[in-house]
Structure 1
C-alpha cells in the first residue's frame, strides 16, 4: 500500500523545515541580538522588548491562522508562511530605522505561526488523522535539534557576517528550501484528495460535545500556565544558574536542556505507546515542576542543577508532543487547525510576558521566591490536566 510510505517522506520534509523555521526565526535571535542592539543604538533589553511584543502579537494571530488552515489547508498556509518569512527576514536585514526593524520582527513572528509546529501538526492531521499522533512524535524528535544546530551556526556566522547578512542567508533558506518543500507537501495532499473518492476517515474526540467548551478552556489554561513556567526559566536559565554560584558550569548545564528534550521524545517513541495524550500532558507538567523544586532544594549543588536541567528538558520535550496529540485525542480531527490555533494563541500570549515577569520577580522578591511562585503555577496546570483526564474516561467511539 503506497500511502504508508507518505508519512516518512512527509515527516522528513517537515522535520527539515521545522529545524530551519525554529532555527532562523526563533533560536538565532538571542545570538544575533547583541549585534542588533549595537547597530540600531538600542539597549539589549529594548531589543528583547521588541521580541517579546512580537511573540505576543504573533500569538494573537495564531487563532486566525488556525482557522485559515482548516479552510485552505495547512500546507498552503505553510507555503505562504515560508515566503512571508523570507520577505520579512530580508526586510529586517534592510531596516534603516528602529520602526521598520520592529515591524519586521513582528511580521517575522506572525510568519512563524504559519510555518512552525502548530501548522506542521495540522498538516500531519490533514494527511492522515489516524497516524497523526505517532507522526507528531517523530516530527518533534527531528525538530528538537533546531537549537542544537542553529545556536552554533548562528554563533559561527557572527564571526564572518553582520547580523543583517546572516538574516539574508536565513531568508534564502526559507525561500529556496522550505517554500518548495511546503509546496511539495501541498501537492501530496492534492493527489491524496483526488485519489480517494470515499470520505476521509476522521478521529472522534474523547470529550462529548456538551463538555467540549469547558475542556477546551481548561486545557488552554493548563498549557498556557505550563508554557509560562517554562518560558520564564528558559529565558534566564544560564544567567540564573550563574547567579546561584555555578559559574562557568552554568553554560554546560544549560546545554543539557536540548538533548534531554530530544531524549524524552525518543523514550516516548519507544515506550510511550501505552501512555494516552492526557497522561503525556500530565507527565510533562510533573517533570517541569519537579525540575524547579529540585533546583530550589539543591541550590548550587552541581548534581542538583544537572537534574534540574534534565527534568526541565524531558518535560519540555514531552510538552510539545502533548500540544499536538492532546487536542486531537480530546476533540477529534474535525476543525483541528482552529482548535490548536486558539490554544496556541492563549499559550503564546501568556508566555510572551514570562521572561519579563520572572526577571522582575527575581529582582524584587529574590530567586527562591520567584522559583516557588513558578512551581505553584506549574502545580495549577497539573491539577487542570488531571481534571481533563478525569472527564474523558469513556473510550472514543465513532458515532458519526
Structure 2
C-alpha cells in the first residue's frame, strides 16, 4: 500500500510539473498577445482608425473594466465546470476576438472586439491558471503558482520586442491575425490536454483528495472584512502597476531614452523572473502577507526612482528592475495569498471577486495615465502613482496584521 502511495505521489508530481510547464507557455502567449503587445501597437491603431492615442487607451480601459466585471462570473463558473474547461473555451474565443479586431471595418466594431478580448483574457490568464493548479492539487498549488509565474514572467521580455519587430514589417491588423493563430493552434490544444490530464487524475481516492484541502488562516467571522481589505489592496496596487505597464516603453522613450527604451523595458521581464526565483529558493519561510507588503514596497520604490531620476539611464534601469521585482512577487501573491487566507474551498469564486475589483479599478489606469501625461505632465502622473503605491503598502500591512492575529492555517 505504501509503495502504491509513493508511486501515485510520483505520478502526480510528474503530472503537476507537466501541467505547470504547459500553463507557463500559454501564459507567455496569453499575456504577450492579449496585454503586453497593446502599448506597442496602440499608435498604429490610432493612426489607422483616425483616433487619438488617448482615445485608443480609453477603449482599452473600458474593455479592462468590463473584463474585470466578468471576473466574478468566470470565477464561479471555474468552480462549477472546472478552470481547465474555462481555459479550453477561452483560447478559441481569444483567437476569434483577435481576428475580429484585425478585420474590424469601424471604430465601433474594433471597440466591441477589444471588450470581448478582455473577457476572454480573464478565461486564459493567471486567474484561471491559478485556479487550475488549485483544482489539480490544492496542497502543492502555492508552490506550483510560484513555478508558473517564474515561467510566465518572460511574457513581456518576449512579446515587447516581438511586437516591436513585427510592427516594422507588418501593420497591427496583420500582427493580431498572427497572434490569433498562436492562441488557436498553440494554447487551445495545451489547455485541452491539461483538461484531459485533470479528468484522469480526478478518479483518485476521494479520501486522499479530502486530505489535500487547504484550510485558510482567517477565522470565519473576519473573512468578509479581510476579503474587502485584500481586494482593496490588490486593486490600488493593480492600478499603480497597470498605469506603468500600459505605457512603459513609450513613456521611457518620451523621457529621451530613445531606442534604449525597449531594452530597458525588456529588463522588466527578467526582473519578474528573478524575484520569483529568489522567492522559490529563499522565501519559503516568509508568510504570504509579508510577500504582499514587499511587492507593494518594490513597485512604489520603482516609481519613485523614475520620478526622481528622469531620463538618467541608470535610474531608468533601476526603475525597471524594481518594478519587475515587485510585479513578479505580486503575481505570486495574487494566487497564493487568497489560498493562504481563505483556503481552497470556493477558490475560483473568491479569486474571481478579487480579480473583478482589481481589474475594474485598474481599467481606467491606461486612459487616466495617458490623459495626465498629455495634459499635466509625466512628473505629476508618476507622483500620483507613487502615492497610490504607498496606500497599497498600508493596506497590505493591515492584512498581515489580521492574518497574524488569526494564527497559522491548519495543514
TM-score where L is the length of structure 2: 0.91
Alignment of 1:150-299 (within 5 A): 150-198=159-207, 199-200=209-210, 201-244=212-255, 246=257, 249-299=260-310
Aligned-residue offset at 1:390: 1.1
Measure the CA separation in 1 of the matches of 2:21 and 2:153: 13
Q: Which stretch of structure 1 is more off in the superposition, 244-253 or 69-78?
A: 244-253
- Runs of at least 5 residues in structure 1 that lack an aligned partner in the other structure: none
RMSD, matched Cα: 2.0
Q: Deviation digits for residues 247-290 of structure 1, max 9, x if unmatched?
A: 55444433322221111111111111111111110100111122
- When the two structures are aligned, how many residues end up with a matched partner? 398
Q: Which moved more, 1:297-306 or 1:327-336?
A: 297-306
Work out the CA distance in 1 between the residues paired with 2:324 and 2:299.
8
Distance in 2, matches of 1:167 and 1:369, equals 34
2:59 is aligned, of 45, 50, 66, to 50
CA distance in 1, matches of 2:102, 2:372: 34
Q: Write the mapping of 1:330-349 to structure 2, written as runs, cut at 5 A.
A: 330-349=341-360
1:91-113 per-position Cα deviation (integer Å, ceiling 9, x unaligned): 22222222112111111110000
- Residues 1:146 and 2:155 aligned together: yes
Specify the alignment match of 1:97 in structure 2. 106
Structure-1-length-normalised TM-score = 0.93
Structure 1 residue corresponding to 2:81, chosen from 72, 77, 92 = 72
Closer/same/farther in 2, CA of residues 253 and 58 from structure 1, 3 Å limit = same
CA deviation map 1:213-261 (0-9, x unaligned):
0000000000111111112233333444455555554444333222211
- Find the aligned partners of 2:290 and 2:186 in 1 and give their Cα distance: 36
Distance 1:12 1:248, change over 3 A: closer
Give 2:328's aligned residue: 317
Distance 1:156 1:5, change over 3 A: same
Structure-2 change in CA distance of 1:252 and 1:148 (3 Å): closer
Q: Distance in 1 between matches of 2:385 and 2:137?
A: 38
- Relative distance call for 1:383 and 1:171 in structure 2 (3 A) is same
Answer with 302-311 or 322-331: which moved more.
302-311
The change in CA–CA distance for 1:233 and 1:160 in structure 2 (over 3 A counts) is closer
Distance of 2:402 and 2:377 partners within structure 1: 39
Superposed displacement of residue 347, structure 1: 0.9
Q: In structure 1, how many angstroms separate the alpha carbons of the residues matched to 2:320 and 2:240?
A: 14
